[in-house]
């Protein structure tokens, strides 16, 4: 297989992949109204794309397009080489469409509506590869009312692959025809033909200037249709631009080029639709940004309120932290003199801590005692709250009813302004917000217990290093060694050798008292060491827990919808970049003209 064949297959594969991506986006569920509008538009475009795909191998449909009296019918006769449609004074205004086809062509495979058209069959080499449609004039009716020329024209154009835009010295600046061409050129290749070469001046240079801003114009043809018809009837090959035009139609619209032309038309259709989708989405970009900002503001307010309450709650439970920290340190140290003193201290503290259970007011405090107790307490508390009406059920962490109602009203306004689905507003009612707040609080207990356990283990590990342990053990044993030395010296040396009296009971009482004081001092120093940085740890823990549980705030559905909206914008942007590249490849390899994509060009597709 040659390199050009491989490149062509690669190009066709890229178009098929693009069509698949657009189809996936068009069927993606969304709560954003602009996206649903875009999806409706893309589905209509994909219907036309599928129609083109079905008839990839069928003859191309070439339609003449131009204002009244521009010589469309005469051009058709000249191209075919025989009179097949009335022209000139016999029918100054084309009303009934005329389809000129080869006798062997199956028109039903083309999908053209045949109810209100006249079919003319002619033997012609050109008609073996194309079907020519002599279209109604676009400027003979003001509106596309039932039965009007405009209605017939609009019914035919979506089925056409190539437009022969016919104009004259008098008509090439017609605004009415130009406006109709902008809509007609969507998804079509275009050839620009100036007729009446026997009567008019050559205006192609000026015409090209008027076309360049809106269309790609590889070539312009200046033809005399009547002379060309006479030449063909005399058995001669048409000369001049008519000969070039027939050669171009025969070569560029032949069987080998059909697939490429129709796929190029597919690219144009998809590009126009995606440009319009981009415009639709960008129209509400500021509103979506406002909603994002409002969500972040409300999240920060809730975060600050909950952080203040949680930090206050956790700081009130510092004694619980200390008891658990001391217990964890003792377990890490194992059996040693100073750890025994810590265990004794912690034993008295645990008795006091058990009494504090009667004063626990929140899940945060209970979580400090352990996951099992905290979860059990929270379950009982939730059952009690469910039996109590009113907003108090969601107020443990500062999320009172007034705050929830205010947040709901603010977010609801932004949701409506950004044109998101109204179904997203249901969860913003005070009742649902209270339920969401209660869910946040319920989920906090297990998280708090895990984070507290982790923090305690980290603090215990940092205070159980060998040099810390060695220092406190040595200081603790120094006093004991001093007392034992003093007792031994008195008993063995002073009493036996020097005859001094043994130490009195007052010594042992004083020694015991100072032992308790010395032990208490060391325990206080060690516990104070444990307290160092505790408030920072609590603040850090609060921020982690709040960020975890309020990562989506109290409006998770709206947060999700906003993320999907941003994702849709990025998807359309990526698809546009891909289709732009494909269209550049087509434009660089084609001698046929085309409409330069304009966002406004897709407006009619949205109706």
- DSSP labels for 575-587? HHHHHHHHHHHHH
Does 526 reside within a domain? no
Q: Tell me, yes or no, whether 243 and 349 share the same domain.
A: no
Q: Tell me, yes or no, whether 89 and 159 share the same domain.
A: yes
In total, how many domains does the chain have?
2
Dihedral angle of Cα 570, 572, 574, 576, to the nearest 10 degrees: -150
CATH number assigned to the domain comprising residue 138: 3.40.50.300
User: Taking the model in full, what pTM does it have?
Assistant: 0.62
* Amino acid 437: pLDDT: 61
Q: Tell me, yes or no, whether 587 and 443 share the same domain.
A: no
Q: Tell me, yes or no, whether 275 and 305 share the same domain.
A: no
Q: Tell me, yes or no, whether 198 and 215 share the same domain.
A: yes
Q: Tell me, yes or no, whether 256 and 370 share the same domain.
A: no
* Amino acid 399: pLDDT: 59
Residue 130 dihedral angles phi and psi, to the nearest 5°: -135, 160
Contacts of residue 120, Cβ cutoff 8 Å, sequence gap at least 6: 84, 85, 98, 99, 100, 101
* Amino acid 352: pLDDT: 55
Does 339 reside within a domain? yes
* Amino acid 411: pLDDT: 83
Does 527 reside within a domain? no
Q: Tell me, yes or no, whether 436 and 322 share the same domain.
A: yes
Does 513 reside within a domain? no
- CA separation for the pair 274, 187 (Å, rounded): 13
Q: Tell me, yes or no, whether 340 and 277 share the same domain.
A: no
Check: CB of residue 62 under 8 Å from CB of residue 249: yes
The 8-class DSSP code of residue 236 comes to P
Q: Tell me, yes or no, whether 184 and 261 share the same domain.
A: yes
Domain span at residue 148?
3-283+568-606
Does 548 reside within a domain? yes
Does 499 reside within a domain? no
Q: Tell me, yes or no, whether 168 and 295 share the same domain.
A: no
**CB neighbour class for 364 (10 Å; exposed up to 12, middle 13-18, buried from 19):** buried
* Residue in the block written with tokens 């060491």: 529
* Amino acid 586: pLDDT: 64
Q: Tell me, yes or no, whether 261 and 289 share the same domain.
A: no
pLDDT, mean of each 10-residue run, the chain (607 residues): 60 78 90 91 83 69 87 88 69 69 82 80 85 81 61 79 89 81 78 90 90 85 90 86 87 72 80 90 90 84 71 67 77 82 75 51 48 42 38 46 75 87 67 62 60 76 83 88 88 81 85 89 83 70 64 73 91 90 67 63 44
* Amino acid 589: pLDDT: 55
- CA separation for the pair 329, 339 (Å, rounded): 8
Q: Tell me, yes or no, whether 32 and 140 share the same domain.
A: yes
């Amino acid at each position: 297989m040659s390199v050009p064949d491989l490149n062509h297959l690669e190009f066709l594969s890229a178009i098929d992949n693009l069509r698949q991506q657009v189809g996936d986006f068009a069927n993606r569920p969304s709560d954003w109204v602009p996206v649903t509008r875009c999806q409706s538009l893309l589905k209509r475009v994909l219907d036309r794309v599928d129609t083109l795909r079905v008839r990839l191998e069928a003859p191309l449909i070439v339609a003449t397009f131009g204002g009244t009296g521009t010589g469309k019918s005469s051009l058709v006769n000249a191209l075919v080489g025989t009179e097949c449609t009335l022209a000139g004074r016999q029918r100054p205004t084309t009303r009934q469409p005329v389809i000129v086809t080869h006798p062997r062509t199956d028109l039903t495979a083309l999908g053209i509506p045949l109810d209100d058209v006249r079919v003319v069959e002619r033997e012609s080499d050109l008609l073996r590869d194309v079907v020519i449609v002599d279209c109604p004039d676009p400027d003979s009716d003001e509106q596309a009312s039932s039965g009007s020329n405009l209605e017939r024209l609009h019914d035919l154009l979506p089925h056409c692959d190539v437009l022969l835009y016919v104009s004259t010295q008098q008509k090439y600046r017609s605004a009415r025809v130009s406006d109709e061409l902008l809509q007609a050129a969507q998804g079509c290749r275009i050839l620009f033909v100036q007729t009446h070469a026997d009567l008019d001046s050559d205006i192609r240079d000026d015409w090209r200037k008027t076309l360049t801003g809106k269309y790609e114009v590889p070539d312009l043809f200046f033809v005399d249709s009547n002379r060309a018809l006479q030449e063909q009837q005399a058995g001669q090959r048409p000369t001049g631009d008519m000969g070039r035009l027939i050669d171009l139609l025969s070569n560029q619209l032949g069987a080998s080029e059909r697939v490429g032309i129709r796929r190029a038309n597919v690219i144009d259709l998809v590009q126009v639709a995606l440009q319009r989708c981009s415009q639709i989405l960008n129209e509400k970009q500021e509103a979506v940004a406002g909603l994002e900002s409002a969500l972040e503001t409300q999240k920060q307010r809730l975060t600050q309120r909950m952080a203040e309450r949680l930090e206050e709650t956790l700081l009130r439970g510092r004694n619980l932290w200390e008891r658990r920290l001391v217990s964890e340190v003792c377990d890490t140290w194992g059996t040693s003199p100073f750890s025994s003193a810590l265990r004794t201290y912690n034993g008295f503290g645990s008795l006091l801590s058990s009494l504090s259970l009667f004063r626990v007011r929140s899940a945060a405090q209970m979580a400090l005692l352990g996951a099992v107790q905290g979860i059990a307490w929270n379950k009982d508390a939730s059952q009690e709250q469910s039996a109590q009406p009113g907003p108090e059920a969601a107020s443990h962490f500062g999320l009172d009813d007034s705050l929830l109602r205010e947040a709901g009203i603010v977010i609801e306004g932004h949701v409506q302004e950004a044109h998101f689905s109204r179904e997203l507003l249901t969860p913003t009612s005070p009742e649902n917000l209270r339920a969401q707040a209660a869910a946040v609080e319920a989920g906090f207990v297990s998280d708090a217990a895990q984070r507290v356990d982790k923090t305690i283990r980290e603090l215990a590990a940092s205070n159980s290093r060998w040099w810390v342990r060695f220092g406190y053990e040595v200081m603790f044993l120094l006093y004991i060694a001093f007392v034992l030395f003093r007792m031994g010296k008195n008993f063995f040396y002073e009493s036996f050798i020097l005859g001094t009296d043994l130490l009195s009971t007052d010594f042992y009482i004083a020694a015991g008292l100072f032992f308790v004081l010395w032990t208490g001092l060391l325990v206080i120093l060690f516990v104070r060491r444990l307290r160092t940085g505790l408030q920072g740890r609590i603040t850090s823990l609060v921020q982690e827990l709040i960020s975890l549980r309020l990562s989506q705030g109290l409006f998770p559905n709206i947060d999700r919808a906003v993320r999907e909206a941003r994702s849709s914008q990025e998807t359309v942007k990526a698809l546009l970049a891909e289709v732009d590249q494909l269209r550049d490849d087509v434009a660089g390899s084609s001698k046929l003209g085309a409409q330069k994509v304009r966002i406004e060009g897709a407006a009619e597709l949205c109706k």
